[in-house]
Amino acid sequence: MSIGTLSLFAFLPILTALVLMVSFRWPATRAMPCAWLVSVICASLVWHMDLGLILASTLQGFGQAFTVLLIVFGAILILYTMTESGGIETINHGFHGLTTDRRIQTIIIAFVFAAFLEG
Protein backbone atom coordinates (compact mmCIF):
# COMPACT_ATOMS: atom_id res chain seq x y z
CA MET A 1 0.00 0.00 0.00
CA SER A 2 1.07 3.56 -0.60
CA ILE A 3 1.94 5.94 2.21
CA GLY A 4 -1.13 8.05 1.42
CA THR A 5 -3.46 5.08 1.84
CA LEU A 6 -1.78 4.10 5.10
CA SER A 7 -2.14 7.71 6.29
CA LEU A 8 -5.85 7.63 5.54
CA PHE A 9 -6.24 4.39 7.51
CA ALA A 10 -4.29 5.94 10.40
CA PHE A 11 -6.60 8.97 10.36
CA LEU A 12 -9.76 6.85 10.23
CA PRO A 13 -10.18 6.41 14.05
CA ILE A 14 -9.79 10.16 14.59
CA LEU A 15 -12.27 10.86 11.82
CA THR A 16 -14.68 8.33 13.34
CA ALA A 17 -14.55 10.05 16.73
CA LEU A 18 -15.00 13.50 15.15
CA VAL A 19 -17.95 12.44 13.00
CA LEU A 20 -19.71 10.64 15.83
CA MET A 21 -19.20 13.45 18.35
CA VAL A 22 -19.77 16.45 16.08
CA SER A 23 -22.25 15.27 13.45
CA PHE A 24 -24.26 12.74 15.45
CA ARG A 25 -23.71 14.48 18.83
CA TRP A 26 -22.72 11.26 20.57
CA PRO A 27 -21.09 11.60 23.98
CA ALA A 28 -17.43 10.67 24.24
CA THR A 29 -18.35 7.63 26.33
CA ARG A 30 -20.04 6.14 23.26
CA ALA A 31 -17.90 7.59 20.45
CA MET A 32 -14.45 6.67 21.80
CA PRO A 33 -15.09 2.92 22.10
CA CYS A 34 -16.25 2.99 18.47
CA ALA A 35 -13.07 4.83 17.46
CA TRP A 36 -11.04 2.27 19.44
CA LEU A 37 -12.83 -0.55 17.60
CA VAL A 38 -12.05 1.08 14.24
CA SER A 39 -8.39 1.38 15.24
CA VAL A 40 -8.28 -2.27 16.32
CA ILE A 41 -9.78 -3.35 13.00
CA CYS A 42 -7.29 -1.18 11.08
CA ALA A 43 -4.40 -2.49 13.15
CA SER A 44 -5.29 -6.11 12.55
CA LEU A 45 -6.35 -5.89 8.90
CA VAL A 46 -4.12 -3.12 7.48
CA TRP A 47 -0.94 -3.38 9.55
CA HIS A 48 -1.28 -7.11 10.43
CA MET A 49 -0.60 -6.58 14.14
CA ASP A 50 -1.10 -9.60 16.36
CA LEU A 51 -3.69 -9.52 19.13
CA GLY A 52 -1.12 -9.39 21.93
CA LEU A 53 0.43 -6.21 20.58
CA ILE A 54 -3.01 -4.63 20.13
CA LEU A 55 -3.94 -5.45 23.73
CA ALA A 56 -0.59 -4.16 24.99
CA SER A 57 -1.09 -0.89 23.09
CA THR A 58 -4.58 -0.61 24.56
CA LEU A 59 -3.24 -1.06 28.09
CA GLN A 60 -0.53 1.51 27.41
CA GLY A 61 -3.22 3.96 26.27
CA PHE A 62 -5.19 3.35 29.47
CA GLY A 63 -2.06 4.03 31.50
CA GLN A 64 -1.35 7.28 29.69
CA ALA A 65 -4.98 8.39 30.03
CA PHE A 66 -4.83 7.63 33.77
CA THR A 67 -1.73 9.81 34.07
CA VAL A 68 -3.49 12.71 32.34
CA LEU A 69 -6.55 12.24 34.57
CA LEU A 70 -4.36 12.38 37.67
CA ILE A 71 -2.86 15.68 36.50
CA VAL A 72 -6.30 17.16 35.78
CA PHE A 73 -7.64 15.90 39.12
CA GLY A 74 -4.71 17.52 40.94
CA ALA A 75 -5.23 20.82 39.12
CA ILE A 76 -8.95 20.86 39.96
CA LEU A 77 -8.19 19.96 43.58
CA ILE A 78 -5.70 22.83 43.86
CA LEU A 79 -8.20 25.22 42.24
CA TYR A 80 -10.99 24.32 44.68
CA THR A 81 -8.61 24.43 47.64
CA MET A 82 -7.39 27.89 46.66
CA THR A 83 -10.95 29.09 46.06
CA GLU A 84 -12.18 27.89 49.44
CA SER A 85 -9.15 29.22 51.34
CA GLY A 86 -9.26 32.64 49.68
CA GLY A 87 -6.04 32.20 47.72
CA ILE A 88 -7.63 33.13 44.40
CA GLU A 89 -8.81 36.47 45.80
CA THR A 90 -5.31 37.15 47.16
CA ILE A 91 -3.76 36.42 43.77
CA ASN A 92 -6.34 38.63 42.01
CA HIS A 93 -5.76 41.47 44.46
CA GLY A 94 -1.98 41.26 44.00
CA PHE A 95 -2.34 41.01 40.23
CA HIS A 96 -4.60 44.06 40.05
CA GLY A 97 -2.11 45.87 42.28
CA LEU A 98 0.48 45.65 39.49
CA THR A 99 -1.64 47.37 36.87
CA THR A 100 -5.28 47.94 36.02
CA ASP A 101 -4.70 47.89 32.27
CA ARG A 102 -6.04 44.60 30.85
CA ARG A 103 -3.58 44.64 27.94
CA ILE A 104 -0.57 44.74 30.23
CA GLN A 105 -2.12 42.04 32.41
CA THR A 106 -2.47 39.86 29.32
CA ILE A 107 1.18 40.40 28.42
CA ILE A 108 2.26 39.52 31.98
CA ILE A 109 0.14 36.34 31.95
CA ALA A 110 1.55 35.34 28.55
CA PHE A 111 5.12 35.95 29.72
CA VAL A 112 4.65 33.98 32.94
CA PHE A 113 2.91 31.15 31.07
CA ALA A 114 5.76 30.94 28.57
CA ALA A 115 8.26 30.82 31.43
CA PHE A 116 6.17 28.10 33.08
CA LEU A 117 6.18 26.02 29.89
CA GLU A 118 9.94 26.40 29.51
CA GLY A 119 10.47 25.32 33.10
What is residue 13's predicted lDDT score, i.e. its pLDDT? 97
pLDDT in tens, 29-56: 999 999 999 999 999 999 999 999 999 9
Among 20, 29, 54, residue whose Cα is nearest residue 40: 54
- Say whether pLDDT at 69 is over 90: yes
Question: CA 84 to CA 105: how far, in whole Å?
Answer: 24
Predicted TM-score of the model (pTM): 0.70
Question: CA 16 to CA 24: how far, in whole Å?
Answer: 11
Question: CA 59 to CA 94: how far, in whole Å?
Answer: 45
- If you average pLDDT over every residue of the chain, what do you get? 94
